[in-house]
Structure 1
Amino acid sequence: MENIMTIAGKVKYTITLDPSVWIFDDRRVDLTTYFSQTAESSDSLENYTKAVSKHWDREIMEGAIYPPTLKTEKKFEKEKVLTGTFGIPFKPFLLNSEPAVDAKSLVVHTLTDEIEIPLETAYNFILGYSKDGKPLTSDGPIHIYYGDGSNKDNPIKNITGFIIK
């Protein structure tokens, strides 16, 4: 149970975080490339349109059969999940907890310290939860990376929980 953390304090709902299940979450990001990519803003309609047109193009080029390339793509994705270094955006968890209107900061509790960070900065956090396909057991269960990548070589480690003030 030491991997379970909570978001508590000035929130409508106390949220429980379990990093061991995030590997199955579609919101995961690859930390080996995340901070080197340029930020692209897109909406869900644009993503849907691209996915549908990609599928349409594939059917036109290869016919409406189950081509062998799809099988290899699934195998590659499974391999990537088992060997990758991943994180997940913190914003959805904060939004689900519904911080109070007067909440100004997030206190990150670690084994040795308490770090107070403005709430607006915390919305951009990326929570790293795996390295090379393995959970962060020695200094985890998560690492905190700032959204701009300024601490990508030295993330906040040994997190035990979060309190919104």
Structure 2
Amino acid sequence: MIVPITGKVTYAITLDPTVWIFDDRKILLEEAFNSNVNTLDSENEDNELENASKRWDREVYQQKINPPVNKSIKRFEREKILKSSYVMPLDDFLANAEIDSIASAAILVTASGEVTISLDELINSYFLFARDGKPLKEDGPVHLYYKDGSNRENPIKNITKVIIK
């Protein structure tokens, strides 16, 4: 259930979609293709000072960047999580991997072969990682959706690895 990102990157990273359900960056699938989707919670939008403080703390203490994780999940949120489908934007992960400037494409390794897409398409994509609150076991671990929704009816499924070329 992991998805490595390798190839022309400074840091090969391994994504574990099974833990993203607790990540604040996740987006409801139904809301992902709205033009006004913002990946931050509305509380974080209103509190720029708090975000600046967190960035400062990371720089001063030189800690590893940790993903924003729900500190506490209320009961109604837990029920919503267990019934909803979620996607995760890929841009943060690709930024952390530090793609080489000479890279031009990405190969998505799937159960049925390889699919080549441009880096722009990859950066502007989501990984679907949960359907009805459960990991994608049969046709997963992740599906790729373009942020513009152009492949909404036909996502790239069964992605097991991303190779930057």
- TM interval, shorter chain, is 0.7 to 0.9
Matches within 5 A, 1:9-158: 9-35=7-33, 37-39=34-36, 47-49=45-47, 74-158=74-158
Label 1:150 to 1:45 Cα distance change in 2 as closer, same or farther (>3 A).
same
Larger strand share, 1 or 2: 2
Aligned length: 141
Distance 1:49 1:110 in 2: 40
Distance 1:42 1:11 in 2: 24
- Indicate the residue corresponding to 1:159 in structure 2: 159
- One-letter amino acid matched to 1:22: W
- One-letter amino acid matched to 1:38: S
- One-letter amino acid matched to 1:124: N
CA deviations 1:4-55 (Å, max 9, x no partner) are 12000000000101111000110000002221x22356999981349x9xxx
- One-letter amino acid matched to 1:104: S
Which of the pair has more CA radius of gyration?
Answer: 1
Q: Is the 8 A contact 2:27 2:39 kept in 1?
A: no
CA deviations 1:53-87 (Å, max 9, x no partner) are xxxxxxxxxxxxxxxxxxxx932212111111001
- One-letter amino acid matched to 2:13: I
Stretches of structure 1 lacking an aligned partner (at least 5 in a row): 53-72
The alignment partner of 2:18 has SS state of: helix
Label 1:32 to 1:114 Cα distance change in 2 as closer, same or farther (>3 A).
same
RMSD, aligned α-carbons: 2.5
Runs of 4+ in 1 over 3 A off after TM superposition: 40-46
Distance 2:114 2:39 in 1: 35
Q: TM-score, normalised by structure 2?
A: 0.78
- Indicate the residue corresponding to 1:68 in structure 2: none
The alignment partner of 1:140 has SS state of: coil
Stretches of structure 2 lacking an aligned partner (at least 5 in a row): 51-72
Distance 1:45 1:135 in 2: 27
Equivalent pairs: percent with the same residue? 45
The alignment partner of 1:76 has SS state of: helix
Q: TM-score, normalised by structure 1?
A: 0.78
The alignment partner of 2:107 has SS state of: strand
Select which of 4, 9, 32 maps to 1:6: 4
Q: Shift of the alpha carbon at 1:139?
A: 0.4
Distance 2:139 2:39 in 1: 34
Distance 1:45 1:29 in 2: 15
